[in-house]
Amino acid sequence: MTAPAARRGWFAPLNAPIREWSGRRVWIVGASSGIGEALALELARRGARLALSARGRERLEAVCAACDAAAWPAHHTDPPAAALALALDLSRVDELERARDQLLAAWGGVDLVVFNAGTYRPLRAWELSAQAVRETLETNLVGTMSATAAVLPTLLAQGHGAIALVGSVAGYGGLPKATVYGPSKAALINFAEVLHLDLSQRGIGVFLIDPGFVATPLTAQNDFAMPALQTPAQAAAAIVDGFARGDFEIHFPKRFTRVLKLLQLLPRRLYFALIRRATGL
């Protein structure tokens, strides 16, 4: 291999870039609000075929209707099929598998699955409870891993497609009030890395999405100033840009996420001192 070719190999995208969305079959799990809703609307405007999942059917159907309306201007003569509403509770494997089967019956396959469903409860260590641990891990980790297991056979049989897991910068290192949420996202980051190692050789893309603070119903629980806070629309735009580059990790906003990455290089004594000073906790 020549030197220029070797350099191209080292700096080549870790996933096949996704730049063309027209007709692409996308299933977003966790699409009834926040980042999932904004991403669905953005992809609808770009002509993607959408299947949307969440627990609340009424809200889910409202988002599907909004996606249909957003898609219409770009398809005056050939409107896309209506977005599919597949209500499910990610912690229930039977509901997940039923939704998967409905989607495959309608589409015959899937090109991208985005696992965005998650829950968050701000907790200090002395507020920890077994119930909080179970509820958070069931949705953020166990549910997402089980859902991945449910869709992987289809992607492997196709020989193409991609999975996107929505983690969080809270998974980079210990942060106050993320007593259960942070570890659940840290495990999800590790899971995404393992998936990429295994699946990239099989033609399956794996994207890890690590947002900073985004204004959603979950972060509305926070009683502290959230640095570099973004809107869901800004988050969706950053995610689509990351897909277009073929990034493995799509993290944003960079001015915030890069600082958190650098903090992980520090000795723990200094890390703890800086986090306490920054948060005031």
Taking the chain (281 residues) in runs of 10, the rounded mean pLDDT of each run is: 51 94 96 96 96 93 93 61 89 92 96 94 94 94 96 96 97 94 97 98 97 87 83 97 98 96 96 91 77
Q: What is the pLDDT of residue 73?
A: 65
By CB atoms closer than 10 A (0-12, 13-18, 19+), residue 4 is exposed
Residue 45 lies in a domain: yes
**176, 223 contact by CB (below 8 A):** no
Q: What is the pLDDT of residue 56?
A: 87
**How is 167-234 classified by DSSP, letter by letter?**
--GGGTS--TTBTTHHHHHHHHHHHHHHHHHHHGGGT-EEEEEEE--B-STTGGG--S--TT-B-HHH
Residue 6 lies in a domain: no
Contacts of 188 (CB under 8 A, 6+ apart): 140, 141, 144, 165, 167, 171
Place of tokens 């723990």: 268
- The arrangement of strands across the sheet holding 84-85 comes to 84-85, 49-53, 25-29, 112-115, 162-166, 205-211, 249-252
Alpha carbons 250 and 258: distance in angstroms, whole number: 12
Q: Hey, how many other C-beta atoms are within 10 angstroms of the C-beta on 86?
A: 25
Q: Is 181 a catalytic residue?
A: yes
pTM over 0.75: yes
CB-side exposure of 136: number of CA atoms within 13 Å? 22
Residue 145 lies in a domain: yes
Residue 267 lies in a domain: yes
Domain count within the chain: 1
- As beta bridge partners, residue 205 has 162
Residue 151 lies in a domain: yes
Q: What is the pLDDT of residue 4?
A: 44
Q: What is the pLDDT of residue 219?
A: 83
Residue 271 lies in a domain: yes
Place of tokens 């640095």: 227
Range of the domain at 212: 22-279
Residue 194 lies in a domain: yes
**238, 38 contact by CB (below 8 A):** no
Q: Which of 120, 172, 181, 271 is catalytic?
A: 181
Q: What is the pLDDT of residue 60?
A: 94
CATH number at residue 216: 3.40.50.720
Q: What is the pLDDT of residue 226?
A: 81
CA 154 to chain centre: 20
- As beta bridge partners, residue 113 has 27, 163
Alpha carbons 107 and 179: distance in angstroms, whole number: 40
Q: What is the pLDDT of residue 80?
A: 59
Q: Which long-range contacts (CB under 8 A, 24 or more apart) does 125-129 make?
A: 125/179, 127/179, 128/179, 128/180
Residue 262 lies in a domain: yes
